[in-house]
């Protein structure tokens, strides 16, 4: 399948991806785990380019979870080195294509040199107006919600927010993703049917697509398959088919 098979009027505005299966890919090929992560970077490059060509507004990649800090120290160090290498090798190309880099998560936990490199990329692309490449690093969905609640409490204590019931808009406005649309499509590779603490608030009505393909084998064709599958679904948002037939269907 190629992108010409897709309905350009029904493309998801925001695609989120749980990039899973690097370690299993390496094991399948009798390689060290770090080489699986390294091969996965090729898939990142392909997907970013494909989403940009489709004019997707936001692409969120689950690059490193808060729980991933529990992995062996050598693997964590290798992942951080790969992140730094990716940014240094891709930043000029991303900037040239008007892509804006954003980060969500406990970024302050990143090693100093990694954080400086990442913040440099964010600053360099901050005025770009094209696709937002949103990278989840040291990220936890539960932590994000707690962070939002505590932020609201701090703002109330400082007199910046009035007291009273907290509504959805206020909570959403204090999440790491404030200002971004919720994901329309969540893709998970490697065949695992788990959310893995990812965007717990934001994916309430997100369409979920799971593929057995391991992340290093995920190609632009696999991305188009996921989007095509998304375009065959009816997004009801709690309504009935009869109601959708008399109202404009959300895309």
Residue 173 CA neighbour count, 13 Å, CB half = 8
Would you say 55 and 11 are in contact if contact means Cβ atoms under 8 Å apart? yes
- 2 is written with which tokens? 């190629």
Helices and strands (H and E) in the chain: how many: 8, 6
Is there a catalytic annotation at residue 20? yes
Q: Which of 20, 22, 174, 184 is catalytic?
A: 20
Contacts of residue 152, defined as CB under 8 A and 6 or more positions apart, other chains included, come to 161, 166, 170, 171, 174
CA distances from 109 to 64, 68, 100, 116 (A): 12, 12, 22, 12
* Tokens 């269907």, located at residue: 249
Is there a catalytic annotation at residue 134? no
Q: Which of 3, 42, 57, 68 is catalytic?
A: 68
Count of other CB atoms within 10 angstroms of residue 163: 6
* Tokens 């907290």, located at residue: 166
DSSP state of 9: G
Q: Give the largest Cα separation in the chain, rounded.
A: 59
Active site residues: 20, 68
């Amino acid at each position: 399948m190629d992108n010409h098979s897709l309905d350009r009027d029904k493309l998801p505005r925001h695609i989120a991806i749980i990039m899973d299966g690097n370690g299993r890919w390496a094991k399948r090929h009798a390689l060290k785990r770090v080489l699986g992560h390294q091969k996965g970077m090729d898939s990142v490059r392909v997907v970013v380019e494909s989403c940009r060509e489709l004019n997707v507004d936001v692409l969120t990649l689950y690059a490193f979870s808060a729980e991933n800090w529990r992995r062996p120290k050598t693997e964590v160090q290798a992942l951080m080195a790969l992140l730094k290498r990716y940014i240094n090798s891709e930043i000029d190309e991303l900037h040239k294509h008007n892509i804006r880099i954003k980060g969500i998560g406990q970024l302050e936990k990143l090693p100093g040199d990694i954080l400086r490199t990442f913040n440099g990329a964010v600053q360099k692309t901050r005025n770009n107006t094209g696709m937002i490449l949103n990278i989840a690093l040291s990220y936890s969905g539960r932590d994000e919600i707690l962070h939002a609640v505590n932020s609201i409490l701090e703002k109330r204590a400082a007199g910046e927010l009035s007291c009273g019931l907290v509504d959805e808009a206020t909570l959403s406005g204090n999440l790491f993703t404030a200002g971004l649309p919720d994901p329309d499509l969540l893709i998970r590779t490697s065949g695992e049917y788990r959310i893995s603490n990812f965007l717990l608030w934001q994916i309430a009505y997100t369409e979920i697509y799971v593929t057995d393909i391991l992340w290093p084998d995920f190609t632009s064709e696999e991305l188009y398959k996921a989007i095509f599958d998304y375009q065959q679904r009816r997004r009801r948002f709690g309504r009935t088919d009869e109601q959708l037939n008399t109202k404009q269907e959300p895309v």
